[in-house]
Amino acid sequence: MTRKVKRAICFPIIAFLLIVLIAANVAAGIFAGAITNYFSGGVNIDFNSDSIQQTLQQSDELVRTLAEDSIVLLKNQEDEDGNPALPFDEGETKVNLFGFSAYDPSDAASFDGFLMKGIGSGSSTISESKAITLQDALTENGIEYNTDLEAIYDDFEVGRGSAADNAYWLDEPDITDAQFDAAQEYSDIAIVVFSRLGGENIGEQPHSQTQGAVNENKTYLQITDPEQELLDNVTERFGKVIVLLNTSNAMHCGFLDDEGVDAAMYVGLTGQSGATAIGEILKGETLKGKPISPSGKLSDLYSYDPSNDPAYNNTESAGSGDSGTNIQYSEGLYYGYRWYETADAEGYFEAQGSSYEEQVQFPFGFGLSYTEFEWDLLSVEIGEEEVALGSAGSLTDSNKNTEITVTVLVTNTGDTAGKDVVQLYYTPEYIEGEIEKAEVNLLDFDKTVALDPGQSEELTLTFTAYDMASFDATDANDNGRATYELDAGTYTISLRTDSHTLKMNGADQMANATVDFTIDEDIVFSEDPVTGEAIETRFTGETAYAGVPIDGSTAGVTQEYLSRADFAGTFPDEQAPLPTEAAEANRIAAEWYDPSYDTDTAPTQGVDNGENALMVTYTDEEGSLQYDYDLFAILSDYDAEEWDTLLDQIEVSELVNLVHNSGFFNPAIESVGKQQQADFDGPAGFNTNSLSGDWGGSTVTDTWTAYPCECLLGCSWNKDLMLQMGLSMGVEANATGINGWYAPGINLHRTNYTSRNYEYYSEDPILSGNLAANVIHGAKINGLYCYMKHFVVSESGPNGRDWNTWLPEQVLREIYLKPFELSVKEGGSNAVMSSFNNLGSIWTGANHALLTDILRTEWGFQGTVVTDWSMGGEPGTMNTRQGIRAGNDIWLNPMGFTLGGGLDTSDPTDIVCARRAAHNVLYTLVDTIYYNHTFDHDSLDTIFNANVGVADRAESFAWWIILLVVIDVAAVAGLVVWTVFLVKPKKEKVR
């Protein structure tokens, strides 16, 4: 080869390698934080220590208990002798398992078998050593399964794997008549499992079946043709057929009406060991030999055809060009059970030639039991005043803030032990054409302990008039007020077993089921009943924040919102068209700037105030760091003057770093003694986003507990168990050096087809809010703060970055804000995660009316607001300068991106806002740790107690940078030598 040819080949290679080297170094700079976390971001924790192993064992027991309380018995048919299909008789110990999802996935992280978790950040990391599948659950409960059938499914290759791009694959193997005959000989009992998977960033649940058993005319949540064929074969051949719904989303379940289906249970996504409860409930006995009856209640309504739901056609977003991506909540208040109960009350279904019973298969709150219960309404009291049963109570402006208590005696009148849920609903006074109101609305609920036959328990449910108030954003009742109100008239509370069924028992059945309250004059809430702060419309009409009403009235929203005054004429029977003025609304939002934030004077930072203002100063006898609880006692008052002394010490560079780079590990602030804090996902237990697999020599897959997903936990209707889960999370966090938790998820199941439903509890804000509040409170007791998420109207499965979300302010207030409000007021929440999407056309993280006027002012929230995952370079979507002015404190930026619209250290306003953000972040830590320190732990009946200390967490040493420099030097040297060799003149040979 000639020298010229060598150069022609080698120089391009050298240039290419140099470009790769430069690109690698640029990428390393951008992702420095994530790389450091990956290689050395762990805490020096030995997961094999006795104390941590004991904690994890106790948490695993809780996982099983949670599933026991949450699994819902949907059907339990009696045979001709009056014997129910479940629980199994003593001799029924063998079963046949049918359905691809009845069998073990290829590993605990996969989705190609029985489902234990969903996809994405809301899922949990399940250890192989802790995973209990359906097969495991049957075995440990003494139930054998047909291994010949298992071999058929093992040989069946569907090719769907566990990856998100083929997670929606649906198919079943062909089973021959001979194989069915052999299965019949093995056992006359068949269990059929149907699974449906949900997850983050994999799109909404498909409206057609396009993978595996393709049927474009059926949706993903309908039974497939092969599944129906399988079910038909099984019901024809076996004497007892049980269907298990192993799903993240409510399926179309009309097939359960088949008389050949004897029993059915919703088992959800069970976490690491929750499947154990399936075997226990099939037997009617726990592993500990105690009787068990299913006590879960549905957290969503199951309609026969969810495509008839008002929200169905607007499940997915629409978008084009300058209009951006838009989604309209055209159903208004009327979705889920609120729609079906209200439409039934208005005669809508009858007018359509149908009925409630033909539309609804299982109401919200439905769930069967192996035993029976009788309820006796003992008393209803407005404060100290008792309401005579059978007569009406009176609500007035003077007693509108008085707590109303409803006391119910629940007695187990059956033959086996069980738990029951008392559900309290209200029906408001509705005036046609005025304020929109649903006919039936959950007010409160409670659950008994396990009651033996003949045993009773008193339950007390509470509420105030505010809990029944409607938000009249447009003064629809023409009384000159636009706030929370109760119209004059009659408000009826009712005790129900589900959203549709009154609990009718006792001598005077109606008196035992309903109580009326009369209101002579409108009751108006001008101030928040908890904080006393003024309540104002924030997003409606001419005074709407940034001049863009969130109902889209100035953005060209053309689809009417569903109205009770004309259900037939306003029903959204197609997807809402793009708002005609959305592009202009987007422009206003992108350019929005509120000059009232401006200040000319920057605070003085970096002041040396001595050790008296350090958060961590002491050491114990072993030399470990300790929090300064004397200082914390002072700083537990958010407005204490001593905060200024502390905040003065922080350097500007520390403020900027805190705001810009707080993802999973938010930075230490050495000037005030703040350690680096670890904040982890996700709602089903700590997972491993952006972290290495090495925490002190243990792999993360062998560590934290993977709880059942919230879609199943919502069916527990158990506030006490949710408190226990929060306590348990706090103990695990304390044991492994975690401070914060990106959870719970409290968006709502707006439709069946939202793919992230598995991360959220329910369609109902009251159920969701009460469960979340107890989780948050329990975690806080044990020193873990919770970022409730995603604030707000982030129901969509795809991460709705920069999506415009249109809905009336009344709907926002009464439905989508309500679980967050309850979490703040009842749960003591001190951290929240804003959402990707826009409220109207304003990003939630840059919406002052949302984050400051409502969250911090009306509700009295004190603490931190973090963004969802920030990708950097986002001057128009997650703009730092807009967000921090609105009340968003820190950016979840684990990849170390350069943020679009990053803070300007020469701008006094930026520094003032960054200082406020530091105040909020530090307050969250102080409030949580001091609450743990002062809480009376002996007052709780729990095994989960943690006294929080300071984690010995030094800043991670980025050793990989040294390695990168060495590689750079060696690579550059090599390229230089190569180049010199190529260009150096060739030495003439001496002849």
**Does 19 score more than 90 pLDDT?**
no
Residues 958-979, mean pLDDT to the nearest whole number: 77
Sign of torsion, CA 344 348 354 359? negative
Higher pLDDT, 486 or 19: 486
The range of the structural domain enclosing residue 226 comes to 72-293
Residue 66 lies in a domain: no
Tokens 């924030």 belong to: 538
**Segments in 507-601 forming alpha helices (H):** 509-513, 567-570, 582-591
**Does 373 score more than 90 pLDDT?**
yes
User: Which has the minimum average pLDDT: 538-542, 773-777, 851-855, 878-882?
Assistant: 878-882
C-alpha of 723 from chain center: 16
Going from the C-alpha of 803 to that of each of 436, 580, 798, 799, 800, the distances in angstroms are 26, 15, 10, 9, 5
Return the SS3 of 69.
Answer: helix
Do 754 and 883 sit in the same domain of this protein? yes
Do 788 and 825 sit in the same domain of this protein? yes
CATH number for position 481: 2.60.40.10
Is residue 552 a contact partner of residue 806, using CB atoms and an 8 Å limit? Answer: yes
Amino acid symbol at 682:
G
User: Which has the minimum average pLDDT: 82-96, 607-621, 623-637, 930-944?
Assistant: 607-621
* Distance of alpha carbon 854 from alpha carbon 859, whole angstroms: 6
Return the SS3 of 660.
Answer: helix
Confidence of residue 29 (pLDDT cuts 50, 70, 90): low
DSSP β-ladder status, 616-619 and 625-627: antiparallel
Do 83 and 228 sit in the same domain of this protein? yes
% the chain with pLDDT above 70: 91
- Tell me what pLDDT residue 969 has: 82
Amino acid symbol at 754:
T
- Tell me what pLDDT residue 515 has: 96
- Tell me what pLDDT residue 116 has: 95
Higher pLDDT, 59 or 587: 59
Do 364 and 263 sit in the same domain of this protein? no
Tokens 């003149």 belong to: 985
Higher pLDDT, 658 or 28: 658
Total domains in the chain come to 4
C-alpha of 841 from chain center: 23
Do 25 and 11 sit in the same domain of this protein? yes
- Tell me what pLDDT residue 695 has: 40
Listed in sequence order, the residues at least 6 apart from 212 whose beta carbon sits closer than 8 Å to its beta carbon are 158, 160, 169, 170, 171, 224
Amino acid symbol at 771:
L
At 209-225, the pLDDT tens digits run 767 778 888 999 999 99
At 262-303, the pLDDT tens digits run 999 999 999 999 999 999 999 999 999 999 999 999 999 999
519, 554, 586 - which closes a domain: 586
Q: What is the dihedral of CA 235, 236, 237, 241, to 10 degrees?
A: 10
Do 633 and 727 sit in the same domain of this protein? yes
Confidence of residue 991 (pLDDT cuts 50, 70, 90): very low
Confidence of residue 694 (pLDDT cuts 50, 70, 90): very low
Confidence of residue 131 (pLDDT cuts 50, 70, 90): very high
**Does 957 score more than 70 pLDDT?**
no
At 501-537, the pLDDT tens digits run 999 876 566 567 999 999 999 999 999 999 999 999 9
Listed in sequence order, the residues at least 6 apart from 701 whose beta carbon sits closer than 8 Å to its beta carbon are 109, 125, 126, 127, 128, 688, 693
564, 586, 608 - which closes a domain: 586
Return the DSSP state at 856. I
Residues 343-350, mean pLDDT to the nearest whole number: 98
Do 559 and 687 sit in the same domain of this protein? no
**Does 693 score more than 80 pLDDT?**
no
Residue 950 lies in a domain: no
Cis peptide before 252 (omega within 30 of 0): no
Residue 473 lies in a domain: yes
CB atoms within 10 A of CB 901: 18
Helix, strand, coil proportions of the chain in percent (round to 5)? 35, 20, 45
Is residue 477 a contact partner of residue 487, using CB atoms and an 8 Å limit? Answer: yes
Listed in sequence order, the residues at least 6 apart from 974 whose beta carbon sits closer than 8 Å to its beta carbon are none
Residues 463-469, mean pLDDT to the nearest whole number: 99
Is residue 448 a contact partner of residue 509, using CB atoms and an 8 Å limit? Answer: no
Q: Which residues lie across from 302 on neighbouring strands?
A: 362
Nearest to 568 by CA among 738, 725, 347, 402: 347
**Does 801 score more than 80 pLDDT?**
yes
Size (the chain), residues: 991
Do 275 and 337 sit in the same domain of this protein? no
Residue 886 lies in a domain: yes
Residues 60-74, mean pLDDT to the nearest whole number: 98
How many alpha carbons lie under 13 Å from residue 243 in its C-beta half-sphere?
Answer: 28
Q: Label residue 307 left, alpha or beta by phi (over 0 means left) and psi (-120 to 50 means alpha).
A: alpha
Do 895 and 978 sit in the same domain of this protein? no
On the 0-12 / 13-18 / 19+ scale of CB atoms within 10 A, 237 is middle
Confidence of residue 952 (pLDDT cuts 50, 70, 90): very low
Amino acid symbol at 142:
G
Q: Which residues lie across from 463 on neighbouring strands?
A: 404
At 388-435, the pLDDT tens digits run 988 899 999 999 999 999 999 999 999 999 999 999 999 999 999 999
* Distance of alpha carbon 801 from alpha carbon 791, whole angstroms: 13
At 132-148, the pLDDT tens digits run 999 999 999 999 999 99
Do 280 and 338 sit in the same domain of this protein? no
Residue 298 lies in a domain: no
Return the SS3 of 491.
Answer: strand
Do 537 and 671 sit in the same domain of this protein? no
* Distance of alpha carbon 530 from alpha carbon 668, whole angstroms: 35
Residue 947 lies in a domain: no
CA end-to-end span of the chain, whole Å?
23
At 711-758, the pLDDT tens digits run 999 999 999 999 999 999 999 998 888 999 999 999 999 999 999 999
230, 265, 293 - which closes a domain: 293
Do 578 and 632 sit in the same domain of this protein? no
Going from the C-alpha of 399 to that of each of 385, 460, 536, the distances in angstroms are 11, 20, 22
Residues 113-127, mean pLDDT to the nearest whole number: 88
Return the SS3 of 928.
Answer: helix
**Does 164 score more than 60 pLDDT?**
no
Residue 65 lies in a domain: no
Residue 812 lies in a domain: yes
* Distance of alpha carbon 903 from alpha carbon 659, whole angstroms: 9
DSSP β-ladder status, 240-247 and 189-196: parallel
* Average pLDDT value over all residues in the chain: 90
Higher pLDDT, 217 or 617: 217
CATH number for position 861: 3.20.20.300
Residues 682-707, mean pLDDT to the nearest whole number: 66
At 152-161, the pLDDT tens digits run 998 886 555 5
- Tell me what pLDDT residue 691 has: 52
User: Which has the minimum average pLDDT: 485-489, 552-556, 588-592?
Assistant: 588-592
Sheet holding 325-328, edge to edge: 318-319, 325-328, 803-806, 838-839, 842-843
At 178-204, the pLDDT tens digits run 999 999 999 999 999 999 999 887 777
Residues 219-247, mean pLDDT to the nearest whole number: 97
Is residue 720 a contact partner of residue 941, using CB atoms and an 8 Å limit? Answer: no
- Phi, psi of 534, deg, nearest 5: -65, 140
Nearest to 968 by CA among 10, 14, 16, 24: 24
* Distance of alpha carbon 132 from alpha carbon 6, whole angstroms: 62
Residues 300-319, mean pLDDT to the nearest whole number: 94
Higher pLDDT, 454 or 797: 454
